[in-house]
Structure 1
Amino acid sequence: MRHIAWMSSLRHALRTPKSWEAEPRKKTGIDYRKHLEIREQKYSLEEELKGYLSEEEKDYVLSKKNKQAACLNLQSKHLSALKTEGYVWEFAHLEIEKMFVELFTLQGKVERIKNFPYPRQFATLNKFFVWIFVILLPFGMMNEFDKIGIIIVESMEQYKPYPNSGFHYLIELMGHYFIWFTVPISVIISWVFNTMERVGEASENPFEGEGNDVPITTMSRDIEIDIRQMIGDHENNIPKPEPEKFNTQL
């Protein structure tokens, strides 16, 4: 059960809001999160650790700053005690310790993603450059669209006088006002680049609990179910999978 306690401590740490995480403070993020129920914000870590650790172990974990590391430390100490008592032989002890080292390594990687944001100057300059591009784009396209319009009008000269149908008149009229196509085309291109910039900004922090973030709560629950089934826990003690909310896994 300590492994489940470690996962619970880790996901609570990853869900902790940081000052540089902008998405939850945006209007779209606030409105979206009103419909979701993020488990780590509804329940405290102390509540989540009940049943996974003894009271003494829980007090020890909660007293530490890095609670997830404290859980792994408990696991390592318990393994050493089992080896001393002869329940675990030397080779098995070394192999399990390697697993703990791997867990520490993986924990450190996700903590660095969480606690060390992408260089702020890159994100800021990227946004500025996108908006400069968006503002200047129409001015760069106007001349080209005007040239296309002139070509259309000149190409229609060979068909004059036009037949009674309005098709030729429509093409010529389109040529005269073709420069106005700059507006919708510029809007579409600007939307594409702005969306890419927003996606990049949102992807910098994948543990906030947004719709496109890593579903660490669901993953943790699935692993807990697997562990309980493997150790033969009673079916009534095995929790249900984390439900989807508005087609979103948290």
Structure 2
Amino acid sequence: MYTRKIYPIKTVLRWTRRYIFLFILIATVPVVFYELLGCKWLHLPWLPIGLVGTALAFINGFKNNASYDRLWEARKIYGGIVNASRVLATMVNDFITNEHAHKERTEEEFFQIKKTIIMRHVAWMTSLRYALRVKKTWETSYSNKSDKEHMREIEIQEYANTLSEALDGYLSDSEKEYVLSMTNKQAACLNLQSKHYKALKLDGLIEDFRHIEFKNMIEELFTLQGKAERIKNFPYPRQFATLNLFFVWIFVLLLPFGLMHEFDEIGQSFLTPGDTNLFFKTISEIFVWLSIPFSIIISWIFMLMERVGDVSENPFEGMSNDVPITTISRGIEIDIREMIGDDKNEIPKPFAEIDNTQM
């Protein structure tokens, strides 16, 4: 349900176009010196460059696997939040009764109690996703021009509106003031929930066993929150990420110097001693220029894999391949508010996809 659609190749090319322009320059300049200016000494043997490329492929694969593990763990955490939220809604529906109440409540009063708990839970999810969108110094999407351009296009809610605006209607004025005054606002929401459950127990609306179950749910939500915060606050080891980027650029810079001589030799192989065929002679003279598109393609593949790993290692930034926490949170809100019988006219609609992207 909550997945990102496959992007067409034109979108990928647009995302990496600045690198492509640079690769064109890096691939063309050596060939110009080699072929037009006669600097035939300007080449490197292909074997060491090929070894660098092979080693880089392994390093890139290691980084991408580790980045995917972080991304998949983040998705599993939000899958846990989906399940826990639905369980909470059923508990709110079934556990809060007049069975042990000191004073009987009407159905309308019960609905208000249930809605208060559910809306506060939505406030917890809102506070959590805002915390997960906070910019960290090691996250690259905020400094990369293509990434920033893309995030502006998809209009990420947490960057467009403040947390105070997003919490309107979910908490009372006093609760909202309390939450916003705390450093960890999502923990403050769960603290309010815990106090509410205690008040319900003292009023006899829930007995000991049900109170314990509600406390267990608080523990489960704190566990899921802590797992998400762990991914957010501890980056992929920077020594691996930085060295991988350096190695990619070293390979990209060396690549044309190895390819152009190889292509030149292939072109020369079309001619045999004494051969005057104009067609083969022309091919042999221009074949070295074919190293340019091949250099660009190979460089683009390695850099694309580096960038995919780079944006995947921080799965809450808001890029197209990140976990769509805003969409998931809105989906949960719709589910649990419908479960308690809230007015469908008051329940918000799902967020629309923008450029095939869920936020």
TM-score band, normalised by shorter chain: 0.7 to 0.9
Q: Mark the runs of 5 or more structure 2 residues left unpaired by the alignment.
A: 1-118
Q: What is residue 105 of structure 1 aligned with on the other side?
A: 223
Please tell me the residue identity of whatever aligns with 1:181. Answer: L
Q: 1:223 aligns with which of 322, 327, 332?
A: 332
Q: 1:213 aligns with which of 306, 315, 322?
A: 322
Identity level (%): 60
Q: Mark the runs of 5 or more structure 1 residues left unpaired by the alignment.
A: 163-168
Show CA shifts across 1:67-126 (max 9, x none): 001111222222233334433333333333333222212111211222222222222211
Shift of 1:29: 3.0
Shift of 1:132: 0.3
Shift of 1:43: 2.4
Q: Which has the higher contact order (CA 8 A, sep 6+)?
A: 2
Pairing 1:127–2:245 present: yes
The alignment partner of 1:153 has SS state of coil
- Checking the alignment, whether the CA contact within 8 Å between 1:153 and 1:176 is kept in structure 2 is no
Q: What is residue 293 of structure 2 aligned with on the other side?
A: 184
Shift of 1:27: 2.3
Q: What is residue 53 of structure 1 aligned with on the other side?
A: 171
Structural RMSD (CA): 2.5
Q: What is residue 351 of structure 2 aligned with on the other side?
A: 242
Output the CA distance in 2 between the equivalents of 1:245 and 1:141: 41
Show CA shifts across 1:129-172 (max 9, x none): 00001111222334433443344435x99xx897xxxxxx5456
The alignment partner of 1:242 has SS state of coil
The alignment partner of 2:271 has SS state of helix
Output the CA distance in 2 between the equivalents of 1:246 and 1:139: 39
Q: How does 1:67-146 map to 2 (within 5 A)?
A: 67-146=185-264
Please tell me the residue identity of whatever aligns with 2:340. Answer: I
Please tell me the residue identity of whatever aligns with 1:59. Answer: E
Shift of 1:54: 1.9
Show CA shifts across 1:186-219 (max 9, x none): 1110011011111111122222223332221111
TM-score (norm 1): 0.84
4+ residue runs of structure 1 moved beyond 6 angstroms? none
Output the CA distance in 2 between the equivalents of 1:46 and 1:69: 16
Q: More deviation in 219-228 or 53-62? A: 53-62
Output the CA distance in 2 between the equivalents of 1:245 and 1:181: 39
Aligned residues: 241
Show CA shifts across 1:201-249 (max 9, x none): 1122222223332221111111111111111111221111112223322
Query: Residues 52, 152 of structure 1: CA spacing in aligned structure 2 closer, same or farther, 3 A cutoff?
Result: same
The alignment partner of 2:239 has SS state of helix
- Checking the alignment, whether the CA contact within 8 Å between 1:153 and 1:175 is kept in structure 2 is yes
The alignment partner of 2:345 has SS state of helix
Output the CA distance in 1 between the equivalents of 2:271 and 2:128: 67
Shift of 1:61: 1.2
Output the CA distance in 2 between the equivalents of 1:96 and 1:113: 26
